[in-house]
Structure 1
Amino acid sequence: MKHLGLAFFVLVFIHSHGIVRHVEADDGGFVKTSGVQLMLNGSPYYSNGFNAYWLMYVASDPSQRYKISSAFEEAKKHDLTIARSWAFSDGGYRPLQYSPGSYNEEMFKGLDFAISEAGKHGIKLVLSLVNNYENLGGKKQYVDWARSQGQHVTSDDDFFTNSVVKGYYKNHIKAVLTRRNSLTGIAYKDDPTIMAWELMNEPRCTSDPSGKTIQAWITEMASYLKSIDGNHLLEAGLEGFYGGSKQSSNPNFQVGTDFIANNQIPGIDFATVHSYPDQWLQGSSEESQLSFLNSWLDDHIQDAQNILRKPVLFAEFGKSLKYSGNTQRDQLFNTVYSKIYSSASGGGAAMGGLFWQLLAEGMDSFRDGYEVVLSENPSTASLIAQESQKLIRIRKMYARLKDIEKWKKAREGRNRGYDGTNGK
């Protein structure tokens, strides 16, 4: 009730004191952090979003770029304002990086277009720099490149420790961050359309379940990235699995990461969590999966708030329609959204959620069971739009509070006989 009371007070104060300017959220500028909140232009930034890993890949073919525009237009209609995508494709078919340091300009132009188009639609981007998995190359491709140069590497996990491999990855970080967009003329590291960089999609190091290998790698790479780009936020790409101190909160496996320790690294600006009960608890009932999800969400929001003292983004969540119906998926979406809104409405650490994954119409080859085509899934689309509107209302409330503070200071200045501009 206290949150409703605050919102009610703001509205009453605005109308009773003649502050009637319609406040719209200004999405220009770089997103920053302040305690457990993201900040944009001086106000807390809570926002709803989606995953679209395919943006660069599809946009690298100019004849297919309308699909990016269409997806962003549909997203904007549902007030979605953050998209997460890949800034990597290593070796193999239509790569961004043919080999270490050798880049495919057509793929880079595809990423240029995706960033430019996101900016036009007021959508912030979270861009991931490498994959844990073999899809589009990932850490395996980096290790294979090193092996072909005579390095003694025996495991894909050598990605995290081999100096040559780490050098390849650092060079990729630099190549992407210093890229100048061929459409806008803005270097990526200077572009406020990009909200954050992600070191890796779902880093895992099963050869070292203690988490120490991942800890050292994140520490080194976060420091390197920040030495090039001081404008943007950085997150590690973690799924949210805990280390030994809180093992009981995990599903029944350990992947060499530690949600608490890994996110306490100074260069990491906010935490991330992924949520796939249907994958992690295969064979269990819907009730068991939802029960796990509720605890999983609560644990991470509380730990981000009280231990990490950093914002947390639910960067992937979803439910496959291959094994369930729309009703079950909507129930999962509603659970995630309710937890985020409950935290955000109290000024808490949960900053938003990004469902996996948004597709435009005519992208059947990208369907994976988790896809959401907004025009095809009206009940899910309605839930998404409702969450977007709720978070926008929170942002507007804070913007109005900021206006009230400005108004009060100006009035106090007038009452004292000065306008506050001359410092006397």
Structure 2
Amino acid sequence: MKTNRTLYRTLLILSFLVINAAIIAGVSSVLSYMNTGADRSAILHLPEAQIPNYAPQVVWTPLTNEGRPISSQTLSELERDYLKAWYVRNIALETNDRYGTADYYTDSAQVQLYDILDLNLKNNVYFKSSTLKHHPTLEFYSADGKIAVLTDTNVERYEEAYMDQKRIAQHTEIASYQVMLLLEDGFWRIRHLIKLPSQEVEKTKVSRPDLSAVTKSKGVNYYPQKHPWNMFGATFSDSSITADFAKIKHMDLNTVRIFVPYKTFGKAQIEIEKMKQLQHTLDMAEKNDLKVVLTLFDFYGDYSLRDWTLTHRHAEQIVTALKDHPALLAWDIKNEPDLDFETRGKTQVTAWLGRMISEVKSWDNQHPVTIGWSSPEAATNLAKEVDFVSFHYYREPDQFMVAFQELKTNVPDKPLVLQEYGYSSYDGIWNAYLGSEENQAEYVIQMQKLLDSESIPFMIWTLYDFESVPNSVVGRLPWRKARQRHFGVLAGDGQPKKAYYSLIEKK
């Protein structure tokens, strides 16, 4: 009986504790809900913080508008909602779905947009589009702060048309718009969006960058030995980098190629500290009398139109910050983009590349632009758009001249640069015990003879052997990772390998 009573009391206490725990958890959930910024914004229908998912270039004309003066904060909010309206419109035209349009268009403006969506849906048509540049002028801001009228000139807009899931056309349009926006429950909504008659846009003069230094380049693709593919951030070491640059100069080389990882560098919102580290890297190159080929996009593989403006802002920040640096030799848009043709589609990849070339040239017309293609065969892509053609080669030396001469025939009017070449000295089981320092050294000797015979600029892969290689570089397969660790002309401890002496003797 006493045992049953004790058990009863225990169950009663446990039940009490469980009920109280449930009540506390419920109250905590409510408090968490009420203290979450996004949720509160949704409840009160307040404008949420700017999400970096759409970032076209916006250049405002100096304010001389009629009506009341507008504060910088209000102008920023107006710009934010105006761009979001374009973004929502782009999504609607791609999905033929009305979702989200009510937040950025008034009722009458929604009707016009819905008519377009209904027609597209009926004909099984949709459009992928993005505005890339805006040049707004505020014409009027009402005394009550509820109405704004602006003219947006030379809006650059890229669009792709699809029918039955197949792309049927793509084009770039430059147009101007008259826009009226109304402030309603915290949002600036478009009331009228009227396309103005087209006006001829003055074409920017295209300068021809000096390529003499490019044609004389002989160098190395560079990552620090201890932190390959992770050069910037907490692992950044200026002492090891400057020591490595001194070694490269001692080898009588004059160029280094370095890489900016798109995602970890901050994407459209570049991390300030990493930008300072990149600047310092160029400073160290200058002190060692080395020129830098800077690859703007490493570990990037989206290319979708929704992503274009974000990648533009990434490149713009780097290019505008470094374009006057004396160590800068050239901009390399992307490392081996042809490897993404199969998964992303050749048309999509080359469209992104072509536009990025144009953008970089608009920010810096003094330095040449190239693309690091994975093979001589792929390097014919966009050859007319780049200033010099870069290609990679890891095949046998006796096949090199045939591939090179074919590329030279197809691209007779541009300098050709062997941007990567090399041989792994890995001699373990995952390479059937076929690699060796001797084979690597002989490969370098043969390749350098061929390069000398045609005066081909080159950059060898790479300075060091590495202790480890991330899966994101070559995948998880052990035979690929093992080989990739042993391409250096210096061993992991910094000691020269036989290929080092082959390079400095035969280059």
- TM-score interval (norm. to shorter): 0.5 to 0.7
1:370 matched to 2:487: yes
In 1, distance between residues paired with 2:423 and 2:501? 17
> What whole-Å deviation, never above 9, does each CA across 1:290-344 have from its counterpart, x for those lacking one?
3xx4323442245336633211111111122223001111122122211111001
Q: Is the 8 A contact 1:56 1:108 kept in 2?
A: no
Query: Which one of 447, 451, 457 corresponds to residue 340 of structure 1?
Result: 451
State the partner residue of 1:189: 323
CA shift in 2, pair 1:260/1:89, >3 Å: closer
Are 2:220 and 2:257, in contact at CA under 8 Å, matched by a contact in 1?
yes
More strand by proportion, 1 or 2?
2
Amino acid at match of 1:371: G
For residue 379 of structure 1, the aligned residue among 479, 498, 504 is 498
| Local SS of the residue matching 1:304 | helix
Distance 2:248 2:239 in 1: 14
Q: 1:312 to 1:63 in 2, by over 3 A?
A: closer
Tell which has more relative contact order, 1 or 2 (C-alpha 8 A, sep 6+): 1
Give CA deviations for 1:146-197 in whole Å, capped at 9, x if unaligned. xxxxxxxxxxxxx33x322111111111011122xxxxxxxx1112311111
**1:102 matches 2:269:** yes
Q: Is the 8 A contact 1:49 1:82 kept in 2?
A: yes
Alignment of 1:130-279 (within 5 A): 130-131=297-298, 133=299, 138-139=300-301, 159-160=302-303, 162-179=304-321, 188-203=322-337, 204-207=339-342, 211-240=346-375, 242=377, 258-263=378-383, 265-266=384-385, 268-277=386-395
Number of the residue aligned with 1:87 = 260
Residue number in structure 2 paired with 1:312: 416
In structure 2, the partner of 1:25 is: none
**Shift, 1:115, TM fit:** 0.5
Find the counterpart in structure 1 of residue 399 from structure 2. 295
Picking from 420, 438, 462, the partner of 1:357 is 462
Q: Which whole-Å CA distance do the structure 2 matches of 1:107 and 1:339 have between them? A: 39
TM-score by structure 1 length? 0.58
How far the C-alpha of 1:73 sits from its partner, in A, is 0.9
Residue 51 of structure 1 aligns with which residue? 221
Provide the rounded CA distance (Å) in 2 between the counterparts of 1:221 and 1:103: 17
1:117 match: 284
The answer (yes or no) to whether the contact 2:467–2:485 under 8 Å persists in 1 is no
Shift of 1:205: 3.0
Deviation at 1:71, TM superposition (A): 0.6
Secondary structure in 2 matching 1:385: helix
- Matched residues in 2 for 1:295 and 1:56: separation? 30
Cα contact 2:464–2:487 (8 A) shared by 1: no
Code of the residue aligned with 1:197 in structure 2: it is W
Identity %: 20
The answer for unaligned runs of 5 or more in structure 1 is 1-30, 140-158, 180-187, 243-257, 278-289, 345-349, 389-424
- What code does the residue aligned with 1:370 have? F
Structure 2: segments with no counterpart, 5+ residues: 1-207, 470-483
SS in 2 for 1:196: strand
Q: Match for 1:369: what amino acid?
A: H
Cα drift, residue 72 of structure 1: 0.7
Distance 1:228 1:297 in 2: 36
Conserved? CA contact 1:305–1:311, under 8 Å: no
Distance 1:300 1:214, change over 3 A: farther
- Secondary structure, aligned partner of 2:289: coil
Alpha-carbon deviation of 1:210?
8.2
For the aligned residues, what is the CA RMSD?
A: 2.8
TM-score relative to the length of structure 2: 0.49
Q: Read off the aligned partner of 1:368 and give its amino acid letter.
A: R
Instruction: Verify the 8 A CA contact 2:260 2:294 in the aligned structure 1.
Output: yes
Match of 2:436 in 1: 325
Report the number of matched residues.
273
Specify the structure having the higher radius of gyration (Cα). Answer: 2
Q: How does 1:66-85 map to 2 (within 5 A)?
A: 66-85=239-258
Distance 2:420 2:259 in 1: 13
